[in-house]
Structure 1
Amino acid sequence: MDKILEFEGLDAALYPCVGPLVMDPAVLKQNYNFPFRTTQAYRWFVAVNGEEVVGFIPVERRKSGWIMNNYYIKGRDETVLEALLQRIMAVAAEEKCTLTAISFLEDRDVFCRLGFEEVNVWKRYVKMVKNG
């Protein structure tokens, strides 16, 4: 992974970057067929390797804190997920925001390693929180 890009939720540059992925049936299948959403309240963190997007996490910014729900990591590469989470955590810390994640069950170890605490566990997802 070469770099992590950041886009506001309605930034015109976001769409050519992630558009082909958010409509890709294989990507949607990994996301349990839930569509990806964006509004002006979102900031997208996008991992790029060369010209290829290898992962992204849209973060919804609310008054109560930031929420990560629905994300994509090519090949479920833990190093990409960890790099994205570390960037998000750094930005959230600068802005003094609480982070809430609805992670895939299979990714819970990565979130735990980075200091997220489990709040609730469902069949496919884990709700996790990281303060300050």
Structure 2
Amino acid sequence: MQIQILKINGTAKELYPLVGPLVMNPEVLKYNNRYPFKTGKNFEWYIAVNEANDETVGFIPLEYKSHETSINNYYVQQEGHNEILNRLIEAVWQNMTKDMPQLTALVQTRHAALFKEQGFTTTKEWKLYLKMQKTK
């Protein structure tokens, strides 16, 4: 599967056709532990698109805050899951600059190993999530 990663502002009109069908899908919300996705002017979305059919296969919304840059919701389809999620995390990291606050992520426990491979360490644990920060 050839994947293209798009970076789109959180209020851009082209964002909604790409992620709308997913963020309103009950199965995608279940993947996200029934927590709704949100966006705004302080968000940038990294969207994985299958080049063969222009279908969105995953996304990571990144929120810029004064004290941290935060991944707090994400979705990736089942087929090619780990590869797509890795590509999205790499794209986020490649776009970080030295003047940006620390990159943190609220990670589903089932993805902890994958984020650890990407250089994140755990700073707090809950039942369904871990708070992790990028350390390398």
Short-chain TM bin: over 0.9
Distance in 2 (alpha carbons) for counterparts of 1:43 and 1:2: 18
Contact 2:7 2:47 in 1 (8 A): yes
Distance in 2 (alpha carbons) for counterparts of 1:35 and 1:10: 17
- Structure 1 vs Structure 2 CA RMSD: 1.4
Moved runs in structure 1, 4+ residues, more than 4 A? none
Deviation, structure 1 residue 94: 5.5
Percent identical pairs in the alignment equals: 37
Q: TM-score scaled by structure 1? A: 0.94
**1:119 equivalent in alignment to 2:128:** no
Q: Unpaired runs of 5+ in structure 1?
A: none
Alignment equivalent of 1:66, drawn from 53, 63, 69: 69
Distance 1:131 1:98, change over 3 A: farther
Q: Unpaired runs of 5+ in structure 2?
A: none
Distance in 1 (alpha carbons) for counterparts of 2:99 and 2:27: 34
Equivalenced residues, count? 132
Contact 1:8 1:44 in 2 (8 A): yes
Write the mapping of 1:1-132 to structure 2, written as runs, cut at 5 A: 1-50=2-51, 51-75=54-78, 77-93=81-97, 95-131=99-135
Distance 1:52 1:87, change over 3 A: same
Contact 2:45 2:62 in 1 (8 A): yes
Supply the AA of the counterpart residue of 2:89: L
Q: TM-score scaled by structure 2? A: 0.92
